Structure 1
Amino acid sequence: MPSLCPILVFHRVALLTLVLAEPVLAAQIGTIPPAESLTASRIAALPAADRAPWAAYLARSEAQWAADREALAAERQGLSTLPPARAGGHSEGSMPLDKPANWYASEGALVVARNILSFQTPAGGWGKNQPRNAPPRERGQAYVAENNLKKPSPNDYDLPQDSQWSYVGTVDNDATITEIRFLARVAKQFPGAAGEPYRQAAQRGVVYLLAAQFPNGGWPQVWPLQGGYHDAVTLNDNALVEVAELMGMVSRGEAELGFMPANMKTAAAAAQARSVQLLLAAQIRINGKLTMWAQQHDPLTLAPSSARNYEPPALCSGESANALRFLMSLPNPSPAIIEAVKGGVAMLKSLAVRDVGFVKVDDARRLVAQPGAGPLWARYYDPVTLRPVFGDRDKSLHDDVNDLSAERRNGYSWWGTWPMKTVADYDAWAARWVKPAS
């Protein structure tokens, strides 16, 4: 297995790249920098022993990106009019995974399954935010729904390099993971030839995820790589954890995935093991103590990385809680896993605040005194000071959520209860795996 790049220790200014404005607003502590793409020049700067697997990965991504575009261009030859991109909307809800088994043999399920087959990209993945309970894709139609911003900010970090080619294959918002699992449920109802297209598509989806995995065990948000923060190791929306969990299901033949070939099960087991090592390597230490993870980590340094304009390179309580739950779910955890969970849960417990609420006051939500309320956690914490931090759409970084614009206070979950279940379940887990202090 390729060696993991070490976590670099950064000073606050270097890590957050806090470029202070002139004049500095009283409530602003810095500016959120853009994330770095995974590029050939960055790979060339790695230690010699680490370059080859990363260079091969980048070359594979670039080749697949070109092949995907060429496949769509070939379809469009001879068409006088191109079909418009399919309308966006809620995707996961159109692919339910909790129906009775016989429902997946119904015409309603088959409509969804045929749609899924038709929108699978040549690479084997799927786009996001596209309802699947609709007719199949037409010849020459885009593989994904329109994912561009409606009102982008100047130099917006979420602005795609190519407005016609964005999120063409992603694990964001449960994409690809949900399609694979839905197809497996349908295939279970058709064990013969009728189910073969669904089995083959699900297998291609798993191959896609295996190909997308970084040499260090993480997964990017978009593959083939799209650039910017999409190239980061992505824990946001639990992407990495959900892919790792799927790899475990494949390796064990669970969730109707038993039809996967033996070599794919073996590869999936290895992929999950690498993802666990990635989580252990990426967990941030502060003053020697294990703490939490960021929403995104730079693929090469594993340092916290920014994402959208208002999402700073900071530790994230919700994604950390889910990473800890995943580690707690593993059988026979190693000493390193046990220490990671102990440190992460201890940090979450220490950061909980009470007697405050994040509630609507006049035009926008505010953090206010509320006796008896809580516990609450901030979404983001500075990776050096562990103080809560908050970003605005203009890329300004703040230390008080009440100083954000009303639009961002209302439009993002800055405070929440995400870690509660992880913290509540820890004691039972620790009773089994954590040795009492001598």
Structure 2
Amino acid sequence: MEKLFAILLAGVAVLPIPAAAQVIAINQPAQTLSEGRISTLPDAAQAPWRAYLLRSEAQRRADRAALAAELAPGQPAPPPPQAFGGGEKSMPLDRDAKWYASAEARHMADTIVSFQTPAGGWSKNQNRAGAPRLPGQRFANDAETMVQDPANFDAPQDRFWTFVGTLDNGATTTEMRFLARVAAALPGEAGARYRQSFVDGVRYLLAAQYPNGGWPQIWPLEGGFHDGITFNDDAVAKAAMLLEDVAEEPALRFVPEHLREQAARAVSAGVKVILAAQVRQNGRLAGWPQQIDPLTLEPISARNYEPRSIASAETTDILLFLMRQREATPEIRAAVEGGVAWLKASAVTDHAWTKTPEGRKLIPQPGGGPLWSRNYDVVTGKPIFGDKDRTIHADVNGISVGRRNGYNWWVTNPQHALDAYPSWAKKVSG
């Protein structure tokens, strides 16, 4: 017997399907930021968005032209850099301060500088302990094997020019923090090129910020969900925290004063968009999505198996960022209290997310947890789970084995926010 689900959610299409299949919807792609969409805004709001879009397009053309100019006419380009899992691990940020003056650290810093895009950002998933970029070598990884599938929400417009400047997977902000440590260990002329590269990174973050204070995943823009304001991988919070340090930390005073002033304003705008993006359920503040539409600030989907949702991991990262703010305004306090309450109410106990002969599954386990679903429906508040065929399920055990094994659908890190909350609450109430 088939059951027609009556809930029609923005961003998903609901199908009549067997209830036993536990498929509740079909994921729909996010919209690209475009001139047409900007033209639907009130007249007074259109100018800054139109200027932003034009600046993004001009920067992409300039980036591509700069790369082409590195080669003589007819000269073949070097092979592209190879993909490297865990790029952040090749840029350690926890070493003794003296280590950052070592030959090893300087080699990493030189590689980082060589891969900085003309816009000032960096690509992701690369070994910064490896060889520096060669003239004419692409900034991003090998894309020759990438399948151009129009049904794949993540398919780039140009597979040979994608993620050329991104905040995904900690990119750009991690490179900048590493450079700052090397620059601090090398005062004077020895650290000049690293300081300049850091300053160019600051300019990149300021240029990439949307008029409303958010940051896209990729800049210059590439379209699709990458244009969304991205909380995934802590992208917005990491950008804001870095700029906060630029504005306030004495060690970064080598950044020109006018950029430090712009950084302070950028942080304020970033906090505002974070507060505006918090989802409300039944009139109460809840958590945050993985990403939101840059114009409407509504939750949007990402990859085929990542539906619009309230995301527990992103909520955790944002709560920790807000609790770090020096001034706990009434709006910040309300946001934190609402987010913490939502995490507490959403926790699952007496279960384990574990390997079984049939792949990873959520199974009963007395004393297990607390666990949080990676995604919660923005309307019902119930856990939801996506598959590569765009189906959205109510039960993680009902999705394909490959997707269950390839994604962490149940997480424990929200406990970090709950652990941090009591001392923060005591501090702001005292």
Q: Structure 2 length normalisation: TM-score? A: 0.95
Give the match for residue 264 of structure 1.
259
Q: Structure 1 residues 357 and 231, CA, compared in 2 at 3 Å: closer, same or farther?
A: same
Structure 1 residue 147 displacement after superposition: 5.3
Matches within 5 A, 1:172-321: 172-253=168-249, 256-321=251-316
Q: Structure 1 residues 414 and 147, CA, compared in 2 at 3 Å: closer, same or farther?
A: farther
For each residue in 1:216-248, what CA deviation from the matched residue of structure 2 results, as whole angstroms up to 9, or x when unmatched?
Answer: 111000000010010000000111111111111
Q: Which runs of 4+ in 1 moved over 3 A?
A: 21-25, 147-154
Give the match for residue 99 of structure 1.
95
Give the match for residue 6 of structure 1.
none
Structure 1 SS opposite 2:315: helix
Contact 2:143 2:160 in 1 (8 A): no
Give the match for residue 36 of structure 1.
31
Structure 1 residue 303 displacement after superposition: 0.6
Answering whether residue 428 of structure 2 is matched by residue 433 of structure 1, we say yes
Matches within 5 A, 1:22-101: 26-89=21-84, 90-101=86-97
For each residue in 1:144-169, what CA deviation from the matched residue of structure 2 results, as whole angstroms up to 9, or x when unmatched?
Answer: 22257756766111111101100000
Contact 2:146 2:159 in 1 (8 A): no
Contact 1:12 1:384 in 2 (8 A): no
Contact 2:396 2:409 in 1 (8 A): yes
Structure 2 SS opposite 1:13: coil
Equivalent position to 1:396, from 388, 391, 397: 391
Structure 1 residue 22 displacement after superposition: 6.3
Structure 1 residue 113 displacement after superposition: 1.1
Give the match for residue 159 of structure 1.
155
Answering whether residue 368 of structure 2 is matched by residue 373 of structure 1, we say yes
Q: Structure 1 residues 228 and 433, CA, compared in 2 at 3 Å: closer, same or farther?
A: same
Matches within 5 A, 1:329-344: 329-344=324-339
| Higher deviation after alignment, 404-413 or 105-114 | 105-114
Q: Structure 1 residues 259 and 370, CA, compared in 2 at 3 Å: closer, same or farther?
A: same
Contact 2:27 2:305 in 1 (8 A): yes
Number of matched pairs: 424
Equivalents in 2 of 1:261, 1:12: separation in Å? 53
Structure 2 SS opposite 1:30: strand
Identity, in percent, stands at 50
Contact 1:177 1:242 in 2 (8 A): yes
Equivalents in 1 of 2:285, 2:425: separation in Å? 16
Structure 1 residue 190 displacement after superposition: 2.0
Give the match for residue 3 of structure 2.
none
Equivalent position to 1:352, from 347, 352, 368: 347
Structure 2 SS opposite 1:302: coil
For each residue in 1:308-337, what CA deviation from the matched residue of structure 2 results, as whole angstroms up to 9, or x when unmatched?
Answer: 110001010111011011111111211011
Structure 1 residue 137 displacement after superposition: 1.1
Equivalents in 1 of 2:212, 2:321: separation in Å? 18
Contact 1:153 1:394 in 2 (8 A): no
Answering whether residue 108 of structure 2 is matched by residue 112 of structure 1, we say yes
Q: Structure 1 length normalisation: TM-score? A: 0.93
Equivalents in 1 of 2:279, 2:17: separation in Å? 32
1:402 maps to a residue whose letter is: N
Structure 1 residue 24 displacement after superposition: 7.6
Equivalents in 2 of 1:385, 1:63: separation in Å? 42
1:213 maps to a residue whose letter is: Q
Equivalents in 2 of 1:218, 1:148: separation in Å? 32
Answering whether residue 391 of structure 2 is matched by residue 413 of structure 1, we say no
Give the match for residue 8 of structure 1.
none
Structure 1 residue 104 displacement after superposition: 1.2
Structure 2 SS opposite 1:75: coil
Structure 1 residue 263 displacement after superposition: 1.4
Structure 1 residue 59 displacement after superposition: 0.7
2:330 maps to a residue whose letter is: P
Equivalents in 2 of 1:360, 1:23: separation in Å? 28
1:348 maps to a residue whose letter is: L
Structure 2 residues not aligned, in runs of 5+: 1-5
Structure 2 SS opposite 1:367: strand
Contact 2:11 2:29 in 1 (8 A): no
Provide the alpha-carbon RMSD of the alignment. Answer: 1.7
Equivalent position to 1:384, from 379, 382, 397: 379
Equivalent position to 2:131, from 125, 128, 135: 135
